[in-house]
Structure 1
Amino acid sequence: MTSILTCPGQGAQQPNMLQHWPEHPVFTQARTLSEAVLGQRLSALDHPEALQHSRSVQLALLINAVAWGRYLFSQGCQPNGLLGLSIGAYPAAVLAGCLKFEEALELVALRGTLMQDAFPEGYGMMAVQGLDRYQLADILARHQAPVYLANINAEQQCVLSGAWAALDAQKPALQAAGGHCQPLRISVPSHCPLMESSAQTLAKAFEAITIQTPEIAYISASKARVLKTPEAIREDLAMNMARQVKWFDASRLLVERGLKVAIELPPSGTLTGLLKRLMPQGHCLRTETTRLDTLQYLTQPDTI
C-alpha cells in the first residue's frame, strides 16, 4: 500500500469550513444531498456557535471530507487506502465504497446527538505530550481516577478522556512526570467505556444499514488493521466512539507495508504532522495547501 487519504477527527473543525469550497459539481452535489437529508443548510452546521455541539462538528467533518475526497477522485487521484481518526472513519467508509453518503449523514447525526445527550457538560478530552502510553497507564492506575487513555496518536502523544474535574486532578502528576497537558476542543469523553451505552444504541441503528465490501482499502484506527468484510466494518463504525484510537499503531502498520504518500483531507494538518514522524522520507501533505497536479501524480498506482 503506497498511498492513502486520511480523514481528520473531532478537534480539527474550523468555523465556516463548508463555505469556501471550490466551484465544482462534486461540491454542489455534496451540498444539495446533505441539505436534503438533514433538512438544514450547511451554514447551520459550521458557524462558531453550532461548532460547540458534537452533532454539528461531526456532520461538518463528515461532509467536508467526503466532498473533498470525491473531488480528488474526480480529478484522477487513486489512493490505495483510507484511514480516519474517530469520526473520520465515517467519511473513510463512504469514500471506500462501504457506506452510502446519505446513510452516513443519518448515522453521524444520531452519533453526535447520542454523545452530546449522554454528556451535555462537564466532560471532555485532554492531550498529553511527552509521556508514552505505558507511563500514562501507570500514572492513571496509581491515582485510580475515572480518567481513560483514549487515543494513542504518537509514541509520546496521547489523549485522555473523562470528567474535567478528574482530568484537572491528574495534571500535577502528569506534569511532574514530564507531561504537557492541553485541553482539546471536544465536549464529550470519546473513546472510552463511558461511551459504551451510546455505542450500543448506534449499533442497533446500523442493523438496518447495508455495508458493502470496500472498493478501496479501509483501515481501522481502532483495530490498527485493514478491515475487509462488511461485518467487521459495521462493528468498527458503530463501536468506535467507545474504543481506544490506536492511530500510532495503525500508521506504523501502513509504513511497514510500504506507505509513501499520505494526503490529509481538510481541515487541519494534525494527521499530516503525526505521519511525518513515522515517514520522514515520504510525502505527508495537506490537500488545501498542495497543488492538485502534485496530488494527482503521487496517487497514481505506478508513481512510487
Structure 2
Amino acid sequence: MDHSHPGGRLPARPGHRGAVVSDVPAPVALLCPGQGAQRPGFTRAWMQHPVFARRMAELSSATGLDLSHHGTDSDAGTLRDTAVAQPLIVAAGLAAAALLPRSPADLVLAGHSVGEVTAAALAGVLSQGAAVTFVAERGRAMAAAAGLNDTGMSAVLGGDLDEVLTAVSRHGLVAANINGAGQVVAAGPLGGLAALAADPPAAARVRSLQVAGAFHTPHMAPAERALAGPAAALSPADPWVPLLSNADGTVLSDGAEVLRRLVSQVSRQVRWDLCMTTLERLGVRTVVELPPAGALSGLVKRALPGVRVISLRGPDDLDSLSGLFGPAPV
C-alpha cells in the first residue's frame, strides 16, 4: 500500500474521485476474512516484517488491546472471545495490506462479516484508527449480546440449499450466512444446533464454529443498538474503489450508506454468495485474501472455477503477488 494515502487507504482508480462506477470491470479482488478464520499464532510469521509489526503496534494503541500479543501467543480460547477476535482480525488485515505498496489499476474490495470493516477502511470509508476503534466497540457489543443467551453457530456443508434452509428453520435456527459453494451457517440456541447436528439434511454435514454467539441474527439486536452512538460520531468518506456489501452483494459508492450497513450487519444475514456473484459479474480474474486467509479462498475456488486465488497466509506468500501489486515495502 502506498503510505502517502491518508488513513492507509488504497489509492483511487485513475480518472475517478469519490463515488465509484460499479460497471467498470475489476479483475483483481482483495478479500478480507471474518470471525472464525483466526487461529492461534496466525500473525507470528507476519510479525517478523517491520512494517506489519509497526502497524499492529499502532492499531493496538487505538483499541487498548495488545493485538500483537494476541495474534502470536494467545490460545484458541482467548481468540474465541469476540471482543478480542474481531479487532485482531481487522488489525491483521490492515497490517498485511500495508505491505502492498500500490493497488492494481482496477481493484474491488469485499469483506465477510467483520472483514467488511477491514474492506471499508482499505477503501477509504474510515481511517484505520477509526475502523479498529469501531470494531473494538462492535466486538464488545456483540460479546455482551451473546452473553444474554446460550447461542452459537454451525456450518452446514453440502446438501440441497432449499433442504438445508428448511432443516435450519425446523430446528428453530436462522441461516445467518449463505456463503455459496454449498455452505450455509446456521445460528441460534445451542439446543437447536445440537439437534441439527444429530439430524443433518441429506448429503450434508454439520460442523460447530468457534464463535461465541448467534451473530447476524436477531439475537444481536442489542449490539446493533449499542453501535448506533459510536457510528454517529464517525465521518465516513465515499469509497475510492468498488466496495461490495454483505447484505446483497451490491457495489456501494456512498460512505454514509456503507456505515449504515456496517451497523445493521451485526444482526442481518450475510450473503457472501451474492458477493461472489458480483465478483464474477465484474470480471474478476484474481482474488487475494488477506490474513487470516483460507476460508474465503476456499469458497471462491469452489464457486468461481478458473479464478486465480492467492491466500496470504504468511509474508512468503507476498512473492505470489508479483505483477499485481509490485514489490513489498521494507
- Give the TM-score of the pair, scaled to structure 2: 0.83
Aligned residues: CA RMSD: 2.0
Give the deviation of 1:132 after TM superposition: 3.8
Match of 1:54 in 2: 82
Instruction: Give the one of 231, 234, 238 matched to 1:213.
Output: 238
Q: Distance in 2 between matches of 1:293 and 1:32?
A: 25
**Which residue in 1 is equivalent to 2:94?**
66
Separation (CA, whole Å) in 2 of partners of 1:16 and 1:23: 13
Quote how far apart the aligned CAs of 1:44 are. Answer: 4.6
**Alignment correspondent of 2:251:** 226
The match for 1:263 is: 288
3-state SS of paired residue (2:98): helix
User: Aligned pair count?
Assistant: 295
What is the letter of the counterpart of residue 164 of structure 1?
Answer: L
Taking the aligned partners of 1:201 and 1:39, their CA distance within structure 2 comes to 19
**Counterpart secondary structure, 2:153:** strand
More helix, by proportion: 1
Identity of aligned residues (%): 29
Say whether residues 1:171 and 2:197 are aligned partners. Answer: yes
Q: In structure 2, give the amino acid aligned to 1:153.
A: N
One-letter identity of the residue aligned with 1:108: V
Aligned partner (choices 186, 196, 205) of residue 211 of structure 2:
186
Deviation at 1:71, TM superposition (A): 1.2
* Letter paired with 2:189: A
In structure 2, what is the equivalent of residue 117 of structure 1? 144
Q: Which residue of 1 aligns with 2:155?
A: 127
Look up the SS of the partner of 1:166 in the other structure. Answer: helix
- 1:198: Cα distance to partner? 1.1
- Match for residue 101 of structure 1? 128
Partners of 2:116 and 2:286 in 1: how far apart?
Answer: 19
One-letter identity of the residue aligned with 2:196: Q
Report the equivalent of 1:201: 226
- Which residue of 1 is the match for residue 61 of structure 2? 36
Q: What residue in structure 1 maps to residue 177 of structure 2?
A: 151
Describe the superposition over 1:164-203 as per-residue Cα deviations: whole angstroms up to 9, x where unpaired: 111112234424x232000011111111111122112212
Gaps of 5+ in 2: 1-25
Please state if 1:82 is matched with 2:109. Answer: yes
Structure 2 CA distance for aligned equivalents of residues 40 and 200 of structure 1: 23
Aligned structure 1 segments of 4 or more residues deviating by more than 4 angstroms: 22-25
SS at match of 2:109: strand
Per the TM alignment, residue 21 of structure 1 is displaced from its structure 2 partner at its CA by 1.8
**Conservation of the 8 A alpha-carbon contact between 2:124 and 2:239:** yes
Counterpart check, 1:136 vs 2:164 = yes
Q: What secondary structure does 2:248 align onto?
A: coil
| Amino acid across the alignment from 2:208 | P
**Structure 1 residues without counterparts, runs of 5 or longer:** none
